[in-house]
Chain A
Amino acid sequence: METPLREPTFLILTALAGEPLHGYGLIAEVDRLSGGRVSLRPGTLYGALDRLVDAGLVRVDHEEIVEGRLRRYYQLTEPGGEVLATETERMRRNVDAATARLRAIKAAPRLSGGVA
């Protein structure tokens, strides 16, 4: 799996870092995690899940029948957890760097324009 991860992929892995989720639950969780910014559609979601399963980052945990319909639950694998941790650390470093720069700007605001 290529890194840095795209945002939907990152959010899917993050959503699966908790308990196993089925397709609809996963879409709802990604929507909640992103504050409504990322709303996955099923075709996109299952395409991403297939790639993650192929890469060994996600696996099918179990299946159950609810009201005559099959529900398949997905879970993060150990390598998936490692990728998520590495990616989170990379993003954290970026956030720290950006935060430090922004604090420095606020502490010492530059003068704009020439001296009157």
Chain B
Amino acid sequence: MTDLERRYARWTALFYPAGYRRERGSELVDTYLSLAAPDRKRPSAADVADLAVGGLRQHLRIAQGLGPGFRLAGVLALATLAACATGWAIFEAVVPWAPWFPQRGPFLSSLGVPVWAAWLVAVVVYVAAPGRWFRGAVGLAVLVTAGSVVLAAMVPGVHRPPLFVLLPQVVLGIVALGAAGRQPRWVRQLPLAAAAAIVPVAVSTAPRFVFSGDFYYEAGATALPAAAVTLLIGGALLAFGLAARHDHRGVWALLILLTPIGMLALNPLSAMLDDTGPGRSIIPVWSHMVGASVLVLMVGLVSMPLAIAARGRLPSGGRPVHTDAVRCPTCGAPSASVR
């Protein structure tokens, strides 16, 4: 084996899944060697880049259920954001205002109304037009949400939902884009069903609070972690149920949902970072919230590539190259004869 061949083999081993490498590694390396100039000692940068892209494609190819996993995660995320938007919209409408709070009408004093309305519009659009229109509606809802943060910072006396409520909503919205495209009617109606299911809970709970610009903190400390746990348990049950039928999309969906689940659980996660002891506030301090959200984002971003790479290391992680060629019945090596 020449130095050049050894180097190509090393790069192939680094980038490609184990099963694919066993099946096609030598064929791949031989083709590179056939194309290499006689005096070449090392693979060119372009060849290394080609191997990296080719290896990534193979990892994605063998990650069975990844595409359907994105769609499943999208539907679950959309159902969760529909429930959240409905609950918060009911709170905005039902929670009585504190008599001492400067009231200028719900549309003027709280930007929560247009924010939740925009997300609910996206949920309704999904039922009728789950393709381009739905993507547009989600984009609009994200813009309205971001705009509410900017507007509240510029106009004094105008309140908006806090960031630990808005951030999970935006992350859920981004994941929900995976649900875009053709889906059966009952799947498209699932988010509406989740929104309907939350109505009695929100209507019965909302009167216990008083609107003074901060009911989100009290309600959010319980409601959002509850949504996180529900999504986690629901996703895990689906993953186990589907995995029992050798369908891996549930596992991928659960991995994808880790980020929105973490964002919904920002409050308790931030409290874990808070070491001020038993006297600490019910609302974690800003710096701990930022720390927890960055941590959740990093875990979410790293876990997917790691899972895809780990899938490639599994012994069954490669689709066989179908061949009609004659093989040796004893050792399985390809026959030297043609056809």
In the assembled complex, B54 has its CB within 8 A of some CB on chain A: yes
Interface of B is mostly: helix
Residue in chain A with minimal CB distance to B20: A50
In the assembled complex, B3 has its CB within 8 A of some CB on chain A: no
Residue in chain B with minimal CB distance to A56: B322
Tell me the minimal C-beta distance from B328 to chain A in angstroms.
Answer: 11
Is the Cβ of A69 less than 8 Å from the Cβ of B30? Answer: yes
Given B54, B324, B334, which contacts A47 in the complex, CB threshold below 8 Å?
B54
| Number of interface residues, chain A, beta carbon within 8 A | 24
Residues of A within 8 A of B40 (CB): none
Is the Cβ of B35 less than 8 Å from the Cβ of A42? Answer: yes
In the complex, A63→B339 CA distance in Å?
A: 7
Interface stretch (choices B21-29, B97-105, B149-157, B207-215): B21-29
Tell me the minimal C-beta distance from B8 to chain A in angstroms.
Answer: 9
Residue in A23, A43, A64, A71 with the greatest tally of chain B CB atoms within 10 Å: A43
In the assembled complex, A72 has its CB within 8 A of some CB on chain B: yes
Tell me the minimal C-beta distance from A32 to chain B in angstroms.
Answer: 14
Residues of B within 8 A of A27 (CB): 31, 35
Given A41, A46, A59, A65, which contacts B324 in the complex, CB threshold below 8 Å?
A59
Residue in chain B with minimal CB distance to A49: B321
Asked whether A43 and B24 contact (CB < 8 A) given A23-B31, A60-B323, A72-B321, the answer is no
Asked whether A41 and B47 contact (CB < 8 A) given A47-B58, A50-B61, A63-B335, the answer is yes
In the assembled complex, B330 has its CB within 8 A of some CB on chain A: no
In the assembled complex, B46 has its CB within 8 A of some CB on chain A: yes
Residues of B within 8 A of A54 (CB): 61, 319
In the complex, A44→B54 CA distance in Å?
A: 6
Residue in chain B with minimal CB distance to A72: B27
Q: How many residue pairs, one in A and one in B, have C-beta atoms under 8 Å apart?
A: 87
Residues of A within 8 A of B54 (CB): 42-44, 46-47
Q: Which of B39-85 contact A (CB under 8 A)?
A: 46-47, 50-55, 57-58, 61
Q: Which of A20-46 contact B (CB under 8 A)?
A: 23-24, 27, 41-46
Asked whether A44 and B58 contact (CB < 8 A) given A24-B35, A63-B323, the answer is no
In the complex, A76→B47 CA distance in Å?
A: 27
In the assembled complex, A83 has its CB within 8 A of some CB on chain B: no
Is the Cβ of A42 less than 8 Å from the Cβ of B321? Answer: no
In the assembled complex, A90 has its CB within 8 A of some CB on chain B: no
Is the Cβ of B334 less than 8 Å from the Cβ of A63? Answer: yes
In the complex, A3→B286 CA distance in Å?
A: 51
Residue in chain A with minimal CB distance to B337: A64
In the assembled complex, B302 has its CB within 8 A of some CB on chain A: no
Tell me the minimal C-beta distance from B27 to chain A in angstroms.
Answer: 6
4 closest A-B pairs by beta carbon, nearest first, are A43-B54, A43-B50, A60-B323, A63-B334
Q: List 11 A-B contacts (CB under 8 A).
A: A24-B30, A24-B31, A42-B54, A43-B54, A46-B54, A53-B322, A61-B339, A63-B335, A69-B30, A71-B30, A72-B325
Known: A41-B47, A46-B27. 20 other contacts (CB 8 A): A23-B30, A23-B34, A27-B35, A42-B32, A42-B35, A42-B54, A43-B28, A43-B50, A43-B51, A43-B53, A44-B54, A45-B31, A50-B321, A59-B322, A60-B321, A63-B325, A64-B337, A64-B338, A65-B334, A70-B334
